[in-house]
Amino acid sequence: MDPVTRAVITFKAAEKPRELADIETGLERLKGAAARREEAFQRSFEAERNQPQVLARKFDELFKKAKENPNEPPPKRDIDLD
């Protein structure tokens, strides 16, 4: 995660959770589920609020690279791979 923009730079898929050992463990997970959902919502909300700043920073970085190396071809886009 980039500390300035607070955007995810790399991603690693989470491991599958282990199966429940007993009912008490499952009950404890359910009790904390509402707090985890609220926390995830708040993170998502902050990410959306910072989206324009993240895009501007990405644009500035790519623009700086393009100015430093004008003879380098532009990066491949998803649409170019067809």
Tens digits of per-residue pLDDT, 33-71? 889 999 999 999 999 999 999 899 999 988 998 899 888
Q: How far is the C-alpha of 28 from the C-alpha of 22, rounded, in Å?
A: 10
So what's the pLDDT on residue 8?
75
DSSP 79: G
**Residue 65: closest CA among 52, 77, 57:** 57
